[in-house]
Structure 1
Amino acid sequence: MKNVLLLKTGDTAPTVKLSVGDYEHWFVESLAPGGCQFDILHVHRGARLPDSAAGYDAVMMTGSPASVTQLEPWMERAADFMLSAAAGGVPVLGVCFGHQLLARAHGARVVRNRHGREIGTVEVSLSEAGREDPLFHGLPERFSVQATHEDIVEQPPEGATVLAGNANTGVQALAFGPLIRGVQFHPEVHPAAMRALILARTEKLEVEATQRGHAPGERVPRLLAGIAPSPAGQRILRNFVERFT
């Protein structure tokens, strides 16, 4: 049994929570059947971080409605904890917001994506380094995942390696040395959760689309129609637990 400390960094919309659960549930659903047990810390609500990550096999961080571009003290504390965990030999995986926070902690800039919000089922491509990285063991060079984000890591920080990208977001996955990984997409999100997330943001998505010159009423139906299974996501999470711990 692997012991995972999950740092929760926000809450999903109430309608999403009612239909498919909150962020932490998606990680548990993906990994608990494979032999993981979780301690969940609501760090965005001021939950006290342990003095060290000793006793845990891995540390993970969820996505968040908050933005790394508006840094708060709890974010800095959580980033320091993740770096300390890795320094102590405990592997760390940051997802979306977690990926961005790790990148910032390593010196990168996190900015609003000039290409606009990426949401729905998207395809990412592995770099040469990504094809060799244990996080993506057993996956093809291109695969589908679920994504939802407005911010991106502008450029990889010095010493980090880009593992995956696509046309919308060049830095979809990063390696920070042997024990820290970050992914911009959401390997924990399943199609029903993605559908709920899109529906919860219908009004905002339509406003964004019309501001970019698209016909009203087209974007949300197109996004919903494009949702597809993404088994690579669960494989990535399992790879992290099985190959890094």
Structure 2
Amino acid sequence: MSRITIIETGLVSKRDRTRYGSFPEMFERMIRAEDASIDFDIVSIVNGQPLPNPDTLQAVLITGSAAGVYDKLDWIAPLEEFVRNAYASQIPTVGVCFGHQLMAQALGGTVRKSEKGWGIGRHIYNIAPGNGVIDGKQIAIAASHQDQVIEPPPGARTILSSAFTEHAGLLYGNGAALSVQPHPEFDTAFAYVCCGLRDGHAPDAVVAQAKASLAEPVDNAALGGAITRFLTRGPRA
């Protein structure tokens, strides 16, 4: 039986957590929709829990966070070292949003706040052909970010991209690491909540357009299924 360790790096507000769940709970729902047999362990480093030795784990998923990878938080450097150790041991690892940026930075890429501003609402990404992980030509997923991977790490291939987010999905050189900027774990209602959190921070027109975009369907099952299969199939280098 497969077991995935979810590293919780961010917290949903108490009010929203009651209705939508924590970030790990969102990922559990996403993954179990593809494979109900998977078990989970949660390591909440944002709440002070210590990171395990990655060599003892079957697979790792790193959540999103309101933090930036460049913030001076005492758990970021240990998490980067954890990622590098998991990478060296080819432990299947996936990062989403903050997790995407943290993995890219830990493995030699560059992350910073984008001059393009907030990316919120439903975004459409082009899929690199023949990537072996995500099928199709395009995929629509909700996003919620201001930071971006500006330069991928050496050996990483960009497999999701858009005009707004050039490096929205990365497949890393060891074949066992994958990260994506958008949020396949967010249902449409929670993605709408996230748009509302940008009121007063992003231009009104950007927030309004982002909310309106969520009336169109998203492809959470496609990306969530790809992530689940990646985490449970093991290295493909």
Indicate the residue corresponding to 1:66 in structure 2. 67
Indicate the residue corresponding to 2:225 in structure 1. 235
Could you tell me which of 217, 220, 228 is aligned with 2:207?
Answer: 220
Q: Distance in 2 between matches of 1:71 and 1:50?
A: 22
TM-score with structure 1 length normalisation?
Answer: 0.86
The Cα RMSD (Å) is 1.8
Amino acid at match of 1:75: I
Shift of 1:112: 0.6
Shift of 1:183: 0.7
Would the alpha carbon gap of residues 57 and 88 (structure 1) be closer, same or farther in structure 2, given more than 3 Å must change? Answer: same
TM-score with structure 2 length normalisation?
Answer: 0.89
Shift of 1:59: 0.6
Shift of 1:242: 4.0
Identity %: 27
1:188 and 2:175 correspond: no
Instruction: Give the number of equivalent residue pairs.
Output: 229
Where in structure 1 do 4 or more consecutive aligned residues deviate above 4 Å?
A: none
Unpaired segments ≥5 residues, structure 1: 210-215
Amino acid at match of 1:135: V
Unpaired segments ≥5 residues, structure 2: none
1:165, 1:172 within 8 Å by CA — same for their partners in 2? yes
Name the one with the larger helix percent: 1
219-228 vs 20-29, greater mean Cα deviation: 219-228
1:198 and 2:195 correspond: yes
Shift of 1:108: 1.7
2:10, 2:46 within 8 Å by CA — same for their partners in 1? yes
Q: Distance in 1 between matches of 2:218 and 2:90?
A: 34
Indicate the residue corresponding to 2:148 in structure 1. 152
Shift of 1:98: 0.9
Q: Distance in 2 between matches of 1:171 and 1:44?
A: 26
Amino acid at match of 1:235: G
Which structure 2 residues correspond to residues 115-194 of structure 1 after superposition, within 5 A?
115-127=116-128, 131-136=129-134, 139-177=135-173, 178-194=175-191
2:170, 2:180 within 8 Å by CA — same for their partners in 1? yes
Q: Distance in 1 between matches of 2:147 and 2:54?
A: 29
Indicate the residue corresponding to 1:16 in structure 2. 16
Q: Distance in 2 between matches of 1:117 and 1:184?
A: 13
